[in-house]
Structure 1
Amino acid sequence: MKQISALLLLVCSGAYAQQSSFVSYVNPLTGTSASTTISAAKHGAGTEMLANVIPAVGLPFGMLQLSPQTRTTERKCQAPYYYKDETSGGYRLTHWLSGSCTQDYGSVTIMPVTGSLKPGATLPLDHQTEVSGPHYYKNRLGGVQTEMTATARCGMLQFTMLQTDSLYLLITPNSDKQKGFVSIDTARKEITGYNPVYRIYQGSGQPAGFSGWFVIQYETAATAGTFSATGTSAALSIRDRPGAGGYIGLKAAAGTVVKLRIGTSFTGLEGARRNLHAEMNTWDFSRLKEQAESAWNKALGQIEVSGAGESAKRIFYTSLYRTMQHPRLMSDVDGRYPRFAGDYQLEQLKEGNYYDDFSMWDTYRAQLPLFEILQPRLINDCVRSMILKGEQGGWLPIFPCWNSYTAAMIGDHVTAFIASAFNKNIRQYDVAKAYALMRKNAFDVAPLSDYKNGKGRRALASYLQYGYVPLEDSVPDAFHKKEQVSRTLEYAYDDYALATIAAATGKKRDHALLAARARNYRHVFDTSVGLMNGRYSHGGFYKAFHPDKKLPFITEGTPRQYTFYVPQDVRGLAALMGGEKAFEEALDSLFLKNEYWHGNEPGHHIPFLYNYTAAPHKSQQIVARILKEEYSDGIGGLSGNDDAGQMSAWYVFAAIGMYPVDPVGGQYQLVTPAFERVVIRLPNGRNWEITVTGGGSCIRSVSLNGRQHKAMHITHDMLMRGGKLQIYTARCPA
């Protein structure tokens, strides 16, 4: 049975999207250069200074993105495009994990060259000719103008000759392992091929059990051949050779337009053909471009903001666009998809779509919770995808990317994500199956062979034995080794998350055990320093402690920064610190010492924690400062890796005046919005409207539907019922 993608339903835009061009505020080039923000200068280094986003053309949560290419590799931490690069090698159909320090996979590049056949050629990149939007990209390379647009699984490239000359279109699978296949059928005017996918992190270098397949169709009769590092050939197919690719060539007068339409799939050539037939059974580039623009206008228009200037709108809608790059659609139009952690087997969906590429350590915090508001249907698909992964691979994955186990980063945040969805009444999946898989991760130590393959929680045996991960356990079978304190804190949050489902489903014994484990953060709080610290198995704490240095038991941060990662029990953490006032002073210390690092995710909730004290105005002031200092509409306008949209999701939430400090708990902490008016168009047909009046920077009072609202938070249930939140502001306290 044919699966109708929610992505394609976006094409039929509503009246509000017809009236407003939200797309015009999106600049996909933002963040394509090194960060220029304040905290990045202090805390960032190396690849942490790069947002690693690309000027991606596609549809929300699509199978592929189209991007200009300035780097030829699929190597780790190398995005396909960097603004600073001076030359371009063409246009890539990419599966790059947006904003990450991971790797591209299964990609293919198309390069137009004129004059003579020049495999591997690059040409000067002129930014003056670039036009970049979510739905459309245009630039000039040499004597050719290139335009791109896309559907969920397909892309179209349109080449216009700027002078009379020979035109060659070079098609290269981007395999760093010199693998892949290209074949040209001149009778069908079709180029087909694949680029096999390989794992990284646990199982690094092993085949991922699927490939990136493509079917490229062209209109005009052309000569054809293949090439490799050793030269060109009249042969019409080539396999597993260094620098291998295929080409078509023709003579073309100035003004000639040559089009390619490309279907892609992770299941095979026939899947790519079916996707192409279903989504792009036309050569009308303008029509496809208009459909993509309409889809983006509808998606972006779910949140309408006004009253803060054009620059703020550009940052907001660019951020919202970035939140919609992942997770990645992996299933074909007919519901087929590659088996998770498989060996080139295919599976068939019964309903919905199958998704992968979850940068889960990052996105469970705000990016996925954003779509628990905007697109619960997508979230149901994502949870069902997690259950399928767990059933097919035997264990619920930790950080599922490349349709494989990775055990990347730390924690077990698929559990936190599922609990967040469950507690928001997003439950169109088998809850019992989901619970069984989450429980297995929380209670069962994986056999060694499974563990080395990336299955199960890292260092779970130590965590269960001591209630924390002691320093003696260096966690060797992990990409991120050691980091014992951060693991303890994040496992405690995941245990809390699972405890909420256990309570709701009547599993009293599990709930009691997990609720107790949710307090394990206390075991790594060192009262002698007033912060989290590394602890040995005998109970003693790490002696060479420094609150503001990156120590090996902390993940990508410092003890002072990570101490505040107790979102499930903020008041309990405050009590450990000596009470609410002492907690406030500890927060003050972090910000006054300029130790808050916005460029990495573990601290994203910290600016909102003053809401748990008698000084919520401090959250309002700090959030406003971060919005101003850590985001811009320039090419260096993101303060660190965007990490599949989490950095951008922070901006979206903060700019509309709310943030899910504890996404599992279903509360949004309130701060002063950056806009005078916000309208969230909910999927149930209702609206949530926020208005700001008073002209001040800090909140004086709040009313909900005309009645005073004393709490500094709202709940998910309140929001989804729709209504009007009125925020009255005044000058901030001295």
Structure 2
Amino acid sequence: MTLLLSATFVLLFAGQALAQDTDDILQHVDPLIGSSNGGNVFPGASLAYGMAKAVADTNSNSNQGGFTLDGAPVTGFSMMHDSGTGGSPSLGNFALFPYTSCPGGDINRCAFPKKTRANFGGFDESSVSARPGTFGITLNTGIRADMTVTQHTALFRFTFPENSTMGEAAQPLILQDLTDLSNSRQDNGTVSVNEKTGRITGSARFLPSFAQGNYVLYFCTDFSGAEILDNGIFADSRASTSVKNMTISRSINGYPLPGGAFVRFKSGAKPILARTATSFTSVEQACRHAESEIPDFDFDRISRAATEQWQAKMGGIRISTKGVDKSLITNFYSGIYRTHINPQNYTGENPLWSSDEPYFDSFYWYVLLDIPSGGSNADVVLADAYIKGLDGGINDGYAAVVKDAEVEPFDWCCQGRGGLDSWHSLGYIPVQDFDWKGFGTLTRSISRTLEYAYNDFCIAEMAKASGRTTDQEKYALSSGNWRNLYKEDQTSFWWNGTDTGFTGFFEPRYLNGTWGYQNPLNCSNHDDFSVCSLQNNGPETFESSIWEYGFYVPHDQATLISLYGGPDRFVDRLNYLHDQNITYIGNEPSFLTVFQYHYAGRPALSAKRAHYYIPEFFGTTPDGLPGNDDSGAMGSFVAFTMMGLFPNPGQNVYLITSPFFESVNITNPLTGKIARIRNVNFDPSYKNIYIQNATLDGVKYSKNWIDHSFFTEGKELVLTLGDRESDWGTKVADLPPSLGEYKGYGNSSSSAGYGSWNDTAGSSAKRIRSWLRGDLESM
């Protein structure tokens, strides 16, 4: 994954909506999209950015979000999850599991370990219900489990059949174990059950999926709805009502010993409710969360409150649904919904220090076009937020990004940048770099070089905005380092020997300046053999090919287009990337390539690609995502594409294409103003997808991009559509900003560079441009 959608969605949709239409937007949201076929979404009950995320967990090989619709049985019901991630599952801690009764009334005949209780977790997919804030499922045992949440607390409602499958009177048993989704529990998990009240408390140490170290999580669970018969603890497959406390080890076989506690009830005639809360700081805080947020065990009230919160959160964007297929409306709003699942708001739950400042975790979706493959992509997040209006704490943020660029951490696998000595002295990251100051996986030299270059551009943007002219010039200059890996005579052949017909690709380079080689098509959509992730033997690009990374110069498309032979040849190359299925729309590096025709003066072709990929690869069924959602990345792509304004992350640039709806209204959460996009000649069959002309607040507007003031100032963009490509947005003056100059365009001889850079950088900006053109090779 490569680059960032960053803070754009936060700025557009994070606030409470103003009073608008009262129709229920949530009817268009389907949380189950992406719950099979590797979408890895979390489809359960959550508030927007909520810490509590309750759902049924299955034992699928693709259960990173907890629940799947792929035939795998349920193993428990837990209330901590991520959404859409790849890799190993995370969270899913302290799962509950219900039985109507134990055979013969013998607790030791109930199945306690996760692996064996899966035999009782089968379900019919038609029994599953999911809507924002609430999730429900009926197991084949006849037990119905419904769940809803507050910020830190989940409320589960278990409804039992009148008789057990054994024909016995119901004596429901609900267990709670000390495992998580990936079975990562370490030593010394603890559990305790109160004999009188049935309250279960405990803690355990677990491993994260995308981080180092470990974490301790605490929980507190209470029950309501039936009189307690007895309770106790279980270890492995045996249980006891006489033991109420236990500390358990992991064991020596690589799989944590099953262990936990249970409560058994005298009757299952009425639903039994289980209230469970977690905390990263203490059991006491977990219990405070539970008692303050759900004091009355009122399931319907909590569910209604969750629904109201989602209605307010989703109400910030309204579309005209006239004539549009319902599946496209569902696709749009479900995409927006998924961007609000992560990151989780853990404010007040930081175990490292006490603070009331906002504290969020699981920022996977921020990295829409790149989970860090080597770059310090927080730079892009911070720059994007800063230039779009979130300027609080700029000094601390700026100090952080400069430190990333200048100080190499000892362990740069998960923070900062590695190879900084080479970066500063050579202007690229060498393949097989000699790096003795810090350590990480010595792969991805191409993608790291390209990302470092863009990271530096983002620092330069922040420097300019905060008046740091010297830093601006320094980092703008190093943002051109991407050219140091461009090999102009490099060819590209298919594995059968067929020439792709294109020359000039990025290639790895050694410390001594000589060239290495990686087939430009390795790690492409056609490559079923290469290992392209974070393995020690991984390639010099991360999760994508040199072919695709060949377009990854987000800040200087003008110079890249010149290197590729001009706009026509650039379009040919971009067409080849898509037409030959070299790109894979199910992974983030492809996202911006759909819209890069704008930079070549062909915005109509961006619209054509956008209307092909949606709905061809993005549907509204459980298997409707082409790849894992990455905590809203796929949802972001769908929402922005259908809205007709796709951001170049880290820049104040939105690329304009025709929306999928006759009108779109977006309420800005910071200013309260409503931005509007209206289409004239809108055609829901999507023959008229090409912009013929446009006005902005009633004034002719020919640029094929727009900046963030469109949202903050509540402007109106009116697009007149037609069924063929026009000359709108094609002139050089209409193209998006680029650090270098646009050249070789037949419709104008003027430039459309980052004019704002000239304002403060003066002659230095000219030197940067000259250097980028190759005129200052000895610089």
TM-score (norm 1): 0.84
**Higher Rg:** 2
SS at match of 1:583: helix
| Structure 2 residue aligned with 1:29 | 32
Matched, 1:229 2:216: no
| Structure 2 residue aligned with 1:337 | 350
| Structure 2 residue aligned with 1:470 | 430
SS at match of 2:46: coil
In the aligned structure 2, how far is the partner of 1:146 from the partner of 1:691? Answer: 44
Matched, 1:238 2:246: yes
- State how 1:283-682 maps to structure 2 within 5 Å: 283-305=297-319, 306-307=321-322, 308-331=324-347, 335-339=348-352, 346-349=353-356, 351=357, 353-359=358-364, 362-363=367-368, 409-429=373-393, 431-446=394-409, 450-451=410-411, 454-473=414-433, 481-529=442-490, 530-543=504-517, 545-547=519-521, 549=523, 552-661=539-648, 663-682=649-668
| Structure 2 residue aligned with 1:118 | 111
Deviation of the 1:201 alpha carbon: 5.7
* Aligned-pair Cα RMSD in Å: 2.6
Deviation of the 1:218 alpha carbon: 3.4
In the aligned structure 1, how far is the partner of 2:148 from the partner of 2:604? Answer: 45
In the aligned structure 2, how far is the partner of 1:521 from the partner of 1:495? Answer: 11
* Contact 1:412 1:491 (8 Å CA) reproduced: yes
The 1:15/1:456 distance shift into structure 2, 3 A limit, reads: closer
| Alignment length (residue pairs) | 648
* Contact 1:364 1:413 (8 Å CA) reproduced: no
What code does the residue aligned with 2:672 have?
G
The 1:436/1:562 distance shift into structure 2, 3 A limit, reads: same
What code does the residue aligned with 2:331 have?
I
| Structure 2 residue aligned with 1:270 | 284
SS at match of 2:471: helix
| Structure 1 residue aligned with 2:44 | 56
* Contact 1:360 1:414 (8 Å CA) reproduced: no
* Contact 1:424 1:666 (8 Å CA) reproduced: yes
| Structure 2 residue aligned with 1:129 | 127
**What's the CA shift string for 1:167-219, capped at 9, x where partnerless?**
1111112152354222111334411122323245664xx433x3243343435
In the aligned structure 2, how far is the partner of 1:486 from the partner of 1:11? Answer: 35
- State how 1:163-312 maps to structure 2 within 5 Å: 163-164=162-163, 165-175=170-180, 176=183, 177=185, 179=187, 180-199=189-208, 203=212, 206-208=213-215, 210-222=216-228, 223-234=230-241, 235-241=243-249, 242-254=257-269, 256-305=270-319, 306-307=321-322, 308-312=324-328
In structure 2, list runs of 5 or more residues that go unmatched.
1-9, 103-109, 164-169, 250-256, 491-503, 525-529, 531-538, 727-779
The 1:656/1:471 distance shift into structure 2, 3 A limit, reads: same
Deviation of the 1:149 alpha carbon: 0.5
| Structure 1 residue aligned with 2:715 | 723
In the aligned structure 1, how far is the partner of 2:307 from the partner of 2:244? Answer: 37
* Contact 1:667 1:714 (8 Å CA) reproduced: yes
**What's the CA shift string for 1:226-282, capped at 9, x where partnerless?**
11214111211222241001111113254x111111222111112112222332222
| Structure 1 residue aligned with 2:672 | 685
**What's the CA shift string for 1:294-347, capped at 9, x where partnerless?**
11111122111223221111111111111111111112xxx35212xxxxxx41
The 1:700/1:453 distance shift into structure 2, 3 A limit, reads: closer
| Structure 2 residue aligned with 1:42 | none
Deviation of the 1:58 alpha carbon: 0.7
**What's the CA shift string for 1:635-689, capped at 9, x where partnerless?**
111111211111110111000001112x222110011111112111211221111
- State how 1:119-158 maps to structure 2 within 5 Å: 119-120=112-113, 121-122=117-118, 123-141=121-139, 142-158=141-157
Q: Which has the larger displacement, 568-577 or 88-97?
A: 88-97
In the aligned structure 1, how far is the partner of 2:16 from the partner of 2:718? Answer: 32
In the aligned structure 2, how far is the partner of 1:138 from the partner of 1:479? Answer: 43
* Contact 1:106 1:212 (8 Å CA) reproduced: no
Matched, 1:92 2:78: yes
In the aligned structure 1, how far is the partner of 2:14 from the partner of 2:655? Answer: 30
SS at match of 2:389: coil
Deviation of the 1:95 alpha carbon: 2.7
Matched, 1:101 2:87: yes
In structure 1, list runs of 5 or more residues that go unmatched.
1-5, 35-49, 340-345, 366-398, 400-407
| Structure 1 residue aligned with 2:732 | none
Deviation of the 1:569 alpha carbon: 1.0
In the aligned structure 1, how far is the partner of 2:71 from the partner of 2:434? Answer: 39
Q: Which has the larger displacement, 703-712 or 617-626?
A: 703-712
The 1:480/1:219 distance shift into structure 2, 3 A limit, reads: farther
In the aligned structure 2, how far is the partner of 1:12 from the partner of 1:681? Answer: 9
Deviation of the 1:126 alpha carbon: 1.2
In the aligned structure 1, how far is the partner of 2:365 from the partner of 2:33? Answer: 23
What code does the residue aligned with 2:422 have?
S
**What's the CA shift string for 1:476-527, capped at 9, x where partnerless?**
9877541110000011111000111112223233222211111111111111
In the aligned structure 2, how far is the partner of 1:162 from the partner of 1:266? Answer: 36
Q: Which has the larger displacement, 178-187 or 52-61?
A: 178-187
The 1:100/1:170 distance shift into structure 2, 3 A limit, reads: same
* Contact 1:106 1:211 (8 Å CA) reproduced: no
The 1:201/1:462 distance shift into structure 2, 3 A limit, reads: farther
* Contact 2:678 2:718 (8 Å CA) reproduced: yes
| Structure 1 residue aligned with 2:755 | none
| Structure 2 residue aligned with 1:81 | 67
* Contact 1:135 1:293 (8 Å CA) reproduced: yes
* Contact 1:190 1:218 (8 Å CA) reproduced: no
In the aligned structure 2, how far is the partner of 1:233 from the partner of 1:127? Answer: 35
| Structure 1 residue aligned with 2:166 | none
Q: Which has the larger displacement, 682-691 or 556-565?
A: 682-691
SS at match of 1:451: coil
Deviation of the 1:25 alpha carbon: 1.5
The 1:174/1:76 distance shift into structure 2, 3 A limit, reads: farther
Deviation of the 1:475 alpha carbon: 7.8
Deviation of the 1:457 alpha carbon: 0.9
What code does the residue aligned with 1:702 have?
A
Deviation of the 1:13 alpha carbon: 7.3
| Structure 1 residue aligned with 2:772 | none
| Structure 2 residue aligned with 1:343 | none
In the aligned structure 2, how far is the partner of 1:199 from the partner of 1:124? Answer: 28
